[in-house]
Structures are given as C-alpha cells and as structure tokens.
Amino acid sequence: MIIQFSFKNFRSFKDKNTVDMRAAKITEYKDQIVEVNDLKLLPIATFYGANASGKSNVYFALEFMRTMVLRSFSFGGTSKETSEIFYDFNNNVQFAFDGNANKADTEFEIIFTTKYNEKNYIFDYGFSLNPKNIIESEWLKMKSPSSRIFKDIFTRNEDDIILNGLTKEYANLIRLTLEKEVLILSLGSKLKIELCKIVREWFEKIECLNFSGGLNALFASERSPKQFEKEETQKNILDFISSFDDSIKGFRKIDDEKKKFSNYPVNALHDTIDNSGQRELSLDDESAGTRKMISLYSPIKDVLENGGVLLVDELNARLHPLLVRNIIREFANKTTNPHGAQLLFTTHDTFHLGDNLLRRDEIWFVEKNNGVSTLYSLADFEYNGSKIRKDADLEKNYLLGKYGAIPDLKPFNLK
C-alpha cells in the first residue's frame, strides 16, 4: 500500500507536493482504516479541483513514475527524441512557467509497504531526472517490521553509485552495464536482483486508467477485459454489470472476420419486448457508461483480489454518481477489499463530498495560483483559523468556495 507519494517540478507542480495515505487522528469511518504493522493507512484518496487546476497531473505524476520503473531499461542510450515516444516527455515534464524550474530536475519519491519474506516491509524509493531525461539521483531503502531505521540498498547521484545492499557480483554487473537514462531499479530487476524485482512487481500492480479525454480516454473506455472471449469471464462480467444495467442478458463471441480486431470481441444479447427472441448489438452500440464499466471490470477485480493501486483520472465521467459510490464502497469495505487495495481518483462530482462515505483525510484539493498547483488535504485545511468539522456540509461549503480549489468564474463573453 502507498504510504506517501511525493513529486516536485512536474508539470503544473513547481514545489514538492505529497499525497499522504496515513490516516489522520479523526473519528469518522474508522472501519475503513487498514492497519499494517503499526501503520494506519487509507484505502481511498479523491482529488477535486477546478478545470486546469492540475489535479490530473497528480495522476500523471504517479503514472510517469510507474512508466519509468517499468520501461526505462528498454531505452538506455537512446536519443531524447526516441524516449519521447515512450515516455510522452514532449518537453512538458518540468514546470514550464519559471526559467529556473524549467531547467531543474524533476523528482519522485514513494514510500510503500509490501510483503517480503512473508512480512510487511516498508520501502522508500525515488529518483530525479533532468530535462534531458538523464537520471541525476536514485535511491532504494527498506525497513523491516522490527527495525526503527531504513537500510540503504543503493544510492546514486551524479558523482557516485553506492550499492552496499547488493552482492559484490550484482554490484559489479550494474556498474558495468548501467546507462545514464536507465534506473538501477529497472536494470536490477532485469538482472533478477530479488529486492529490485519485488519493488518493480509492486509498481506493476498499479493500474492506470485515464478517462479525462482524448485518445487516452478512448483507449481506457474501450479496454477489453482480460480473457473476455471465455464464457466464464463473460458470466462474471454479466453479474458485474447487472448491478446497474440488467438489459444485457449475455454475450456472443464474434466470429466475423471483419470484426476480429474489435476492441471487444463479443456482441451483447438483449431480449426483445415482443418475446420473439434475442437481438445482438455490438458493444460499440451500447452506452458509453456501459462500455466504461466493462473496461473497469478487470482493473477493479485484479486490485481487489490481489492488492494494489487503481489510479483513475475522471472516474465519474459517463457514470452515475450512485454507480461511482458503489465502486468507492468496494474499496472502503474490508470484506470486499481484504488485501488493502487502494483507489486514487480525480473527479468533479461533488456528490461524494456529502454521501457519508469519505473521511476528511481521503478528500484532497488541487488549487492553482499564478500558474502553480498546490495539493492539500481537507483534514489539514483550516477555514477562519479552525479545522473542518466532521459534521460540516462539505459539498455545500466546497461549492461556496470555503475550501478553495474552485473555478474563478466570470461572465461568458460570446461576442
């Protein structure tokens, strides 16, 4: 589970900002808290903010870090132009509206807990890269449940690489083969170094879905569930979507050669109103909300069954608020979420501020001032010198601007 995620000089975030998944000392909905050793962690974080405030950049920051960990090994020694294709750098990684920041390093750090030797260890991993995509620093630390301090596994900076936590053989291999664009973690995992593999596998369990628009949203909303062509999977998906749409009665695998490249390799079956049989419809003809829920099936199922992180930009897009509430409840309930899976999502839907489900420390706001985005938790926010009470009308107060992070509206000029 994520304990803390920090990033600096990334897109609209100039200064260091941190998403803290540790539970605050507040009293509401204590049954949602996941206890790992002496840690009390939250399963949910939701991010609100005005359009163009930068809340999607929280999503992109964690997605970017994950991509670097999983792919940097493949692009060592390549040109900046080549790496742009895979990382979507496009000169927009660093904060753009400050000459110094635009030339400075971008930094990422994540502290998380995962199983190692059948115990819950804490890992602290991070790196920084410069505008030319060169790794300037990198580190990996770990702490056992019985230890009070972190043990250094490796540390890297522009002057030196210290690999005290690795065997001499592996240390020599890394020194011999490491390239300036490649993360030690990525290379070490390829070399089958156990600790590197464990950390990389944790990053693999982060599911990223972007519904905020453009090609990313199109891909996410038309993402076929795993093994959708199998009858058992189709039955499970039918049970899943019947919670909100019982008009689909089944699926039929598409055998038409012309449709073999369809995003969804099945048609949906519907009963006719005159009882004359069933009618087939391509899933392209189903509602956008139905297609989105089908695309969410595998990621939700995977993280709830195995643990992990589901990261979603614009979870509410094309979905009814009550349907989104059902998704949130799956993560908030320890019966349906026995492995401490976490849901991090951006939204504009203020309904969830007042639906008696989210804790104050699970609600985050992103506000932009003078082009700089800032991230803060409702649990830490003060209005008129006082913390926000748990019985406050959160939805009403947010829309009234008491918590910030709303658009500064002016009359439209449509001349």
pLDDT along the chain (415 residues), means of 10: 98 97 96 96 98 96 95 69 47 84 93 96 97 94 95 94 96 95 96 97 96 65 79 91 89 72 79 91 88 92 97 94 96 97 97 95 97 97 95 96 92 80
* Predicted pLDDT of residue 1: 98
Number of DSSP helices (H) and strands (E) in the chain, helices first: 11, 20
Q: Return the percent helix, strand and coil in the chain, to nearest 5.
A: 30, 25, 40
For CA atoms 270, 273, 279, 282, give the dihedral sign: negative
* Predicted pLDDT of residue 211: 86
Other beta carbons within 10 angstroms of residue 370's beta carbon come to 6
* Predicted pLDDT of residue 226: 83
Q: What is the dihedral of CA 185, 101, 206, 366, to 10 degrees?
A: 160
The model's pTM:
0.94
Q: How far is CA 179 from the centre of its chain?
A: 28
* Predicted pLDDT of residue 83: 47
* Predicted pLDDT of residue 260: 57
Alpha-carbon gap, residue 226 to 203, rounded angstroms: 19
Quote the tokens at residue 260.
Answer: 């073999």
CA distances for 404 relative to 18, 226, 353, angstroms:
18, 41, 14
